[in-house]
Amino acid sequence: MSVEVLKYLTVYLVSMVKFIGGPLAGVAAGLSYMESVLLTAAGMMTTVVIFSVVGQAFSKWWSARQRAQRKPVFSKRSRRIVKVWRSYGVIGVAFLTPVIFSPILGTVVVAVFGASRKQIFIHMLWSAIVWSAILNLMVFEFGDLAGQWF
């Protein structure tokens, strides 16, 4: 594999798990702004496709795991997620997924609460594109300022 392919793959794979990692990896890999935006959004959307299909099964597994560990079902975090869902629905969860939730958690949440796959794909897509553009712009334009502070 060439070095370029590895750079692209790194940004793509990191974005699948933690969205903000995509822009950071894009800058570190020396990619252009547009390459990083596209790979970051594509990484999140790959996770959305995978977990919207297996979201219900994942939810059942997670619930069983939590019960086995005797963790409370209604934690502070789960209450906040339910509050966002009740207040804003798919649009609110999709909007917050890249910056607060991970692509995995955000997709599982909307899938478990019963959003259709079409709704999930549409709202997660615009969210991925908007946040990818914004976060990449911030990292590309102001990333060197962070180096001066830290």
**Global pTM value:** 0.81
- Residue 150 maps to a domain: no
One-letter amino acid for residue 127 of the chain: S
36-45, 50-59, 113-122: which is most confident: 36-45
- Residue 108 maps to a domain: yes
Domain that holds residue 119: 3-144
pLDDT by residue (tens digit) across 22-47?
A: 999 999 999 999 999 999 999 999 99
What is the average per-residue pLDDT within 84-99? 90
Eight-state DSSP code of residue 72 = -
Number of domains in the chain: 1
CA 118 to chain centre: 18
- Residue 79 maps to a domain: yes
What confidence score (pLDDT) does residue 146 get? 54
What confidence score (pLDDT) does residue 79 get? 82
Query: Both tokens of residue 53?
Result: 């299909």
- Residue 15 maps to a domain: yes
What is the average per-residue pLDDT within 48-77? 74
- Residue 149 maps to a domain: no
